[in-house]
Structure 1
């Protein structure tokens, strides 16, 4: 009887041990897969892109760079909120999608303080829901867009509109638009000494010229957060050169120390036909904060 009981005990012990080992194996597999995904989304992609000293790796492809853009780094901001946004319907699909919303980190260390915050919004177009939302939050808001006339605002509080576009230099461009660098705009508005809480950019590829200039001229030290819509369409040279050149300009933000805390694929933008004849997103809504302020 005792022997029979011992056999039952040992049998149960073996079954439990096997089950436990299977759970460990499953956990290790899942952990490995998650690590592999995270690595391919950011660090691994950077290694592939810059595998050769002094030049870009031939291994780099559009999907590598898409994964880098898609890495959201959730957790870098504990209290993330989207401001603005409007529902649109694509003409060729029975599908609504949100556009114009931007991520802002409201963690205590970095959040805009209502009644004492400044927002620059580049690219107003016909959707100023973000500007309205930041006004309601309690910020001074300046909207910039050389492509439209004065917006017909109806709210109690209104943002200050400037018919100016952002790029890397001051000029009247071939379309007759007044374009300025970020530093020139700050000087024009008398904001050379001010801290800008949020800079929003939706400027249809001009970001690839504006961001390097902002880094070079030192204005990044006065910016707490950047919310940016990237645009990877329209070839400059080959698809590879175009995509990688544009990636490098955005990558400079993170090399400069800015911490990504959000990234979302632009809804309704699921084709890269112009770039590499593959199906993938070519617009991303990305956001970063300046650790200089977060960890002050």
Structure 2
């Protein structure tokens, strides 16, 4: 008597391996069983691949054909990505889980621009940044101004026609109550305006026929649903969430004056692709400190600011307006650099908004 393990391995179309016939047998019976099992496997695969539609290839062994075909089918299923073959569902989710459609998801971080110089000095980063924000990239044939905010009404873009037809929509993001002079002026010209003020008592107030104030604060993240919101603080939501809740697909003018929260909000708009739904971006930037939740050494902060504005340009926006507030302190990250003001108002137009 001897101990022998006789194993027959069959490759199924699902790409799995099934092992059968394991046991202790006499030597003669063991050898005879192995021969019979192998002969049965060869006959089974030969009969399968000699049938119509089996391929009819005689130069390659049937077993190799079976393995190759199963492998190809598995690769095709993985490459397709959209649906799994019917047998995958029969085999269970542990075998071939159905994959979701291949869609472009949100970006997780912006791409930083190269350093202004090899030594990474603050002065060089500040010089490049300031030169960028004071140099218009586009001349508008017609400009409307109010309170040093500018709107491009060039005939190359559709804003003037939308104002005339009263299909213009304005979103105004700000902190604290103000007189909303710019928004009221745009309403008088034919726009509807939505302002966001977390301090008002009601969820929504209609200030005039085409001006609404909402008890919301625009943030770069949505609130944690596990943490109850304090009523007197209102709600904070991302702009993409607000647009979806209001059912608004486009915003002709987005005015942002967020008192140093503009950098993280702008980053969120870039990462979530919201800028493609905006016709013009009116942005006030504050340079006396890094801004809310912006960290790093001073040269890193300025490089981050510059990279954000370059991302706006990559989204097909061109700078057409820049105004330096002469009444603000001459501070750039707590220093007097290049005699720069700590506050600038910028105007960007989406050149594809036609």
| Residue 154 of structure 2: aligned partner | 107
| Residue 189 of structure 1: aligned partner | 246
Supply the distance in 2 between the matched residues of 1:158 and 1:195 (Cα, whole angstroms).
17
Identify which of 281, 285, 292 aligns with 2:341. 281
Identify which of 268, 284, 293 aligns with 2:353. 293
1:167 Cα shift?
Answer: 2.2
Structure 1 gap ranges (5+): 1-45, 86-100
From the two aligned structures, give the one with the greater helix fraction. 1
Supply the distance in 2 between the matched residues of 1:147 and 1:49 (Cα, whole angstroms).
41
1:1-296 superposed matches below 5 A: 49-50=115-116, 57-58=120-121, 60-73=124-137, 75=139, 77-83=140-146, 85=147, 101-108=148-155, 109-112=157-160, 113-114=162-163, 115-123=166-174, 125-147=177-199, 157-171=209-223, 176-191=233-248, 194-235=249-290, 236-272=295-331, 274-278=333-337, 279-294=339-354
State the TM-score, normalizing by the size of structure 1: 0.66
Pairs aligned (count): 226
**Cα 1:238/1:144, change in 2 over 3 Å:** same
1:204 Cα shift?
Answer: 1.3
**Cα 1:49/1:60, change in 2 over 3 Å:** farther
Supply the distance in 2 between the matched residues of 1:141 and 1:286 (Cα, whole angstroms).
20
Instruction: Provide the aligned C-alpha RMSD in A.
Output: 3.1
Q: Which has the higher Rg, Structure 1 or Structure 2?
A: 2
1:69 Cα shift?
Answer: 1.5
Supply the distance in 2 between the matched residues of 1:156 and 1:47 (Cα, whole angstroms).
44
Higher relative contact order (CA 8 A, sep 6+): 1
Determine helix, strand or coil for the equivalent of 1:292: coil
State the TM-score, normalizing by the size of structure 2: 0.56
1:48 Cα shift?
Answer: 7.9
1:182 Cα shift?
Answer: 1.4
1:292 Cα shift?
Answer: 1.3
Q: Is the 8 A contact 1:166 1:206 kept in 2?
A: no
Q: Is the 8 A contact 2:116 2:128 kept in 1?
A: no
**Cα 1:229/1:148, change in 2 over 3 Å:** farther
Q: Is the 8 A contact 1:146 1:165 kept in 2?
A: yes
1:280 Cα shift?
Answer: 1.9
